[in-house]
Amino acid sequence: MNLFTTERLAGLLPRIRTIVTNDILPLESAYLQGSFRVVEPALKSLREQVKQQGLWAPHLPEHDGGLGLTLTEFGQVSEELGRSPLGHYVFNCQAPDIGNMELLHQFATPKQRECWLEPLMRGDIRSCFSMTEPEFAGSNPVNMATTAVHDGDDYVINGHKWFTSSADGAAFAIVMAVTNPEAPPHKRASMIIVPVNTPGFHLVRNIRIMGEEGDSYASHAEISYENCRVPASNLIGEEGKGFELAQLRLGPGRIHHCMRFVGICERAFDMMCSYAVKRELAPGKPLAGKQIIQDWIAESRAEIDAARLMVLHTAHGIDANGAPAMRQQISTIKFFVANVLHRVVDRAIQVHGALGITDDTVLSYWYRHERGARIYDGADEVHKSSLARHILKGYGFSSNE
């Protein structure tokens, strides 16, 4: 419990934790030793149980089958679900679907809502988000070569994307493509829905992440768009508003991710402490007795608590005043919490010794897949530079960069 926990949430969190502990965590071993598809049937069954218990899609409004939580409340749910790599999926609030749901919820036409949003909210289909291109630095997303050219009542899309997460098995992609090449940089791109069965949509490969290819939902794809023709009615919002929509998607999305990171930290912290107490260096001499281990535990506790409060403070500000008003805080939590995650998981692995780098625990999985936390959604260095320039502006500093 903390000062951001509402009465409604106080009743929900124990129910969610019970499902994670009793039903989701036991599936991790099969996932870590096998693949996502191995556990998919069991996850599908759990998703139905979550629906029946009235806990489905906590981020959605009640009239759309969700719980109608505020961002601050959902952030705390995200922490609970983040204790397992499978948690968010079971509750249908996993990235990138959650971001696509929120985007379509605000801007979908009635037809788009019927065809794509409603099945997505029900969990009948999955989606992906196609923005990053291997030929350009992701830290400057206005540089992209993918184009969507008008041809009659259609767009014809050509381009090359990668890290289109969860494209394997998805029903549609939301693609960022240049529609207005002569416009200013942030007015050139638009977001367009592309069904994955459209001719010209090619899933080239699932990209191997530190040796792990992944499959189904748990994957990152390279995509080629070759004369991919879709109706112009698949445009989301207005033409040239792609980056504006992306910013609306990113603000709440960073709360989701950062609180998931906090959940990972808490699980890794618990594993670290439990192992330190039971692992003996010699009879009657547990690892926990070593000062360096105690130092790691103390540092981790302080960092996790600080990270949580920073994120919930930012979420509360977004709830009250909107994401634009909390822009600098959003940048701050992104790099701060990602680095806390990196340090806590690393310490937990070190405490576990050789066991920590095996797939007999979930720690090595997180070390592989969450190293990217300091890269995706903007590299740490970009966010730090942005924050510093904003602070220094108040001291009279101006930059031409």
- C-alpha 394, offset from chain centre: 32
* Structural domains of the chain ordered from first start: 7-94 (1.10.540.10), 127-239 (2.40.110.10), 243-393 (1.20.140.10)
The tens digit of pLDDT for each residue in 297-354 reads 999 999 999 999 999 999 999 999 998 899 999 999 999 999 999 999 999 999 999 9
The tens digit of pLDDT for each residue in 11-57 reads 999 999 999 999 999 999 999 999 999 999 999 999 999 999 999 99
Q: What tokens were used for 331?
A: 């940048």
The tens digit of pLDDT for each residue in 206-254 reads 999 999 999 999 999 999 999 999 999 999 999 999 999 988 877 788 9
- C-alpha 113, offset from chain centre: 22
Sign (positive or negative) of CA dihedral 259, 264, 265, 269: positive
As a three-state string, the secondary structure of the chain is CCCCCCHHHHHHHHHHHHHHHHHHHHHHHHHHHCCHHHHHHHHHHHHHHHHHCCCCCCCCCHHHCCCCCCHHHHHHHHHHHCCCCCHHHHCCCCCCHHHHHHHHHHHCCHHHHHHHHHHHHHCCCCEEEECCCCCCCCCCCCCCCCEEEEECCEEEEEEEEEEEECCCCCCEEEEEEECCCCCCHHHCEEEEEEECCCCCEEEEEECCECCECCECCECEEEEEEEEEEEEHHHEECCCCCHHHHHHHHHHHHHHHHHHHHHHHHHHHHHHHHHHHHHCEEECCEEHHHCHHHHHHHHHHHHHHHHHHHHHHHHHHHHHHHCHHHHHHHHHHHHHHHHHHHHHHHHHHHHHHHHHHHCCCCCHHHHHHHCHHHHCCCCCHHHHHHHHHHHHHHCCCCCCCC
Mean pLDDT of all residues belonging to the chain: 95
Q: What tokens were used for 124?
A: 């009948």
Q: Is 181 exposed, middle or buried (0-12, 13-18, 19+ CB in 10 A)?
A: exposed
Which residue in this structure is represented by tokens 């692995």? 349
The span from the CA of 369 to the CA of 363, in Å, is 10
Q: Phi and psi (nearest 5°) for 72?
A: -65, -40
Rounded mean pLDDT of 265-284? 97
Confidence tier at 294 by pLDDT (50, 70, 90): very high
Residues 6+ apart with CB under 8 A from 274: none
For residues 188 and 377, the model is more confident at: 188
Q: What local confidence, expressed as pLDDT, does residue 400 receive? A: 67
The tens digit of pLDDT for each residue in 388-397 reads 999 999 999 9
Residues 6+ apart with CB under 8 A from 32: 359, 362, 365
Q: What local confidence, expressed as pLDDT, does residue 246 receive? A: 87
Helix 36-52 vs helix 7-19: crossing angle, to nearest 10:
140
Rounded mean pLDDT of 77-85? 98
Strand pairing class (172-178; 127-130): parallel
Q: What tokens were used for 88?
A: 């968010």
First to last CA, the chain: 43
Q: What local confidence, expressed as pLDDT, does residue 138 receive? A: 77
Q: Is 292 exposed, middle or buried (0-12, 13-18, 19+ CB in 10 A)?
A: exposed
Cβ contact 167:204 at 8 Å: no
Rounded mean pLDDT of 249-274? 94
Global pTM? 0.95
Residues 6+ apart with CB under 8 A from 107: 236, 237, 245
Q: What local confidence, expressed as pLDDT, does residue 142 receive? A: 84
Q: Is the pLDDT of residue 377 over 90?
A: no
Q: What local confidence, expressed as pLDDT, does residue 1 receive? A: 61
Residue 179 CB coordination number (10 Å): 24
Q: Phi and psi (nearest 5°) for 109?
A: -75, 165
Helix 71-81 vs helix 7-19: crossing angle, to nearest 10:
20
